[in-house]
Chains A and B, each alone.
Chain A
Amino acid sequence: MEPLERLYLDALLEDPVEPTGTLRPQLLAGARARRRPAAPTAPWAQPYAGRVAAMDALLASAVDDDWSRVIVEGWTLQELVAHLAAKDGLLAASVGAPVLGPELTATDSATRTAHVQAYESARDPEQTRRDWRAQADALCRHLADLPATVPATLDGLEAPAADHVLARMLETWVHTDDAARTARIRLPHPLPGHIHPVADLCARLLPWTMLLSGLDAAGRSVRVTLTGPGGGDWHVALGVEDAAPPAAPDASITADVVAFCFLLGGRGDPASFPAELTGDHALARDVLATAPALSGP
């Protein structure tokens, strides 16, 4: 902004005029009608509800061309949104929440994605957007009354519902970022308080990403220091059955928290991943190289 404009606004503040008091409640009521706020849900599901609202805000500005543009996996934006709806629906089914869209006949995400994409292909992109949002919000509302520890299964993976929801948060975030890049829109990061639990999930997944890549590092451990808002420190035992990490880590990895979450989400090349390594470099590099193992489409 020009200095003169800054000066003008600062001067205006010295001569305050107030709009009538009824304008504020009017505004907030009007806002709900113009854009739906994040769905009310359990505190541990709020990071997910926030990403759904962010994706919806991005989709609000999509025009015809945007919907038919390929974003990732050879999918158009409409197909990508249908994919998110498919996986949200599978988690909904697992915790007893309403499942929207075509009748549920498959519980693996690849087949369900194909079914929902086929169903949505006959519909208008704006309808797809509403269907996806309705599914996500139905899931959020259902989770509001559930404990974080209630077991849920997605693609054969049994884990507490809270972890599955954080994984949904990460996938929704990563795909919103994919779509924002295509549209050349700068997507702000989630709140630090929403990033932190996802970073925690990513750190806890490391023994599994190692194992799924055929590397058994039982008895070994790594310290993960994630920098930036929402970051933190984790000392992770790398064997899935290890009770607790040994006193001293074998290696340490320091990296940006968002870049690290995105690495687990399948974005970025592990070989050129910017991180500071100490201790057993070979082990640290194995951890990074295998980090994307759980990221699907």
Chain B
Amino acid sequence: MEAPYDDRLLHQRVVGGDEAALGEIYDRLSSLIFGLSLRVTRDRVIAEDITQEVFLIFWERPLAYDPGRGTLRAWLATIAHRRAVDHVRAEERRRVSALGPRLFERAPDRLEDTVLAADEAERVRQAVTALPDNLRQVVELAYFGGRTYRQVGEELGVPEGTAKSRIRLALRRLADALAEEEV
């Protein structure tokens, strides 16, 4: 999926050394990046460190991002996820080694360039399955069927606005379901 025009423009500005563009990107995406880091690390201080580092990496090496290959949001989320998972694993290793010599050397998991680890992805899938039919339908059409809001509306015989609000409602339910599991 190619990045939208907004992303390209912000990227061009950052490549050209425009600090204000970094501030704008932060305002747009910090909540998402912080939320994602917090979900993985469960630690506000660490999640803030990761958030700061993600935006700094983008500022320092803006050419590592290619808008032809994806959105800015996905790029930053992928970096955040990788850093957060790294942190959690390092913490685990520290705990384990503090307990004394290990009986089993666990093979390191492959670090994938992805926003979701396998277990989290499974939780999202389960949360989708648990949605009421009318909400699950719109999510499946819009996300897995690649339909626009308008097309979703047409297929379900409802106005575009209704399709849109159902998707919002579905997303809120998913957010609640994912938050509950964390407790």
Q: Are B22 and A4 in contact (CB under 8 A)?
A: no
Q: Mark B141-183, 1 if CB is under 8 A from A, else 0.
A: 0011010000000000000000000001001101110110000
Q: List 13 A-B contacts (CB under 8 A).
A: A2-B116, A8-B116, A9-B36, A12-B32, A13-B35, A15-B172, A23-B48, A27-B22, A31-B60, A35-B60, A50-B16, A61-B61, A190-B16
Q: Are A50 and B31 in contact (CB under 8 A)?
A: no
Q: Are A10 and B171 in contact (CB under 8 A)?
A: yes
Chain B binding surface, main DSSP class:
helix
B8 within 8 A of A: yes
| C-alpha spacing A85/B146, complex, angstroms | 50
- The segment from B50-58, B85-93, B99-107 found at the interface with A is B50-58
Give, as a whole number of angstroms, the nearest-CB distance from A62 to chain B. 11
Q: Are A60 and B61 in contact (CB under 8 A)?
A: yes
| C-alpha spacing A190/B27, complex, angstroms | 23
Contacts of A181 in B (CB 8 A): none
Contacts of B179 in A (CB 8 A): 15
B168 — nearest CB in chain A belongs to which residue?
A: A14
A143 within 8 A of B: no
Give, as a whole number of angstroms, the nearest-CB distance from A278 to chain B. 31
**Additional A-B contact list (4), CB under 8 Å, known A19-B48, A35-B59:** A9-B32, A9-B74, A30-B52, A31-B59
Give, as a whole number of angstroms, the nearest-CB distance from A2 to chain B. 8
Q: A50-B16, A54-B16, A191-B12 are in contact. Are A28 and B63 (CB under 8 A)?
A: no
B115 — nearest CB in chain A belongs to which residue?
A: A5
Q: Which of A3, A13, A186 contacts B32 (CB 8 A)?
A: A13
Number of interface residues of B (CB under 8 A): 64
Q: Which of A27, A36, A188, A189 contacts B17 (CB 8 A)?
A: A36
Contacts of A4 in B (CB 8 A): 116, 121, 124-125, 143
Give, as a whole number of angstroms, the nearest-CB distance from B6 to chain A. 13
- Residues of chain B at the chain A interface (Cβ within 8 Å): 1, 8-9, 11-13, 15-19, 22-23, 26-27, 30-32, 34-36, 38-39, 44, 47-48, 51-52, 55-56, 59-64, 66-68, 70-71, 73-74, 77, 114-116, 120-121, 124-125, 128, 139, 143-144, 146, 168, 171-172, 174-176, 178-179
A122 within 8 A of B: no
Q: Are A27 and B26 in contact (CB under 8 A)?
A: yes
Q: Which 10 A-B pairs have CB atoms at the shortest separation, nearest pair first? A: A53-B17, A38-B17, A50-B16, A15-B175, A11-B174, A14-B175, A1-B74, A5-B115, A19-B34, A3-B143
| C-alpha spacing A60/B62, complex, angstroms | 10
Give, as a whole number of angstroms, the nearest-CB distance from A239 to chain B. 36
A187 — nearest CB in chain B belongs to which residue?
A: B63
| C-alpha spacing A7/B173, complex, angstroms | 12
Contacts of B11 in A (CB 8 A): 188
A74 within 8 A of B: no
Q: Are A17 and B38 in contact (CB under 8 A)?
A: yes
Contacts of A27 in B (CB 8 A): 22, 26, 52, 55-56
| C-alpha spacing A3/B64, complex, angstroms | 23
Interface core residue of B9, B27, B67, B175 (most chain A CB under 10 Å): B175
A18 within 8 A of B: yes
Contacts of B38 in A (CB 8 A): 17
| C-alpha spacing A39/B121, complex, angstroms | 44
| C-alpha spacing A24/B67, complex, angstroms | 24
| C-alpha spacing A54/B60, complex, angstroms | 11
Q: Which of A23, A34, A58, A190 contacts B60 (CB 8 A)?
A: A34
Contacts of B35 in A (CB 8 A): 12-13, 15-17
| C-alpha spacing A27/B146, complex, angstroms | 36
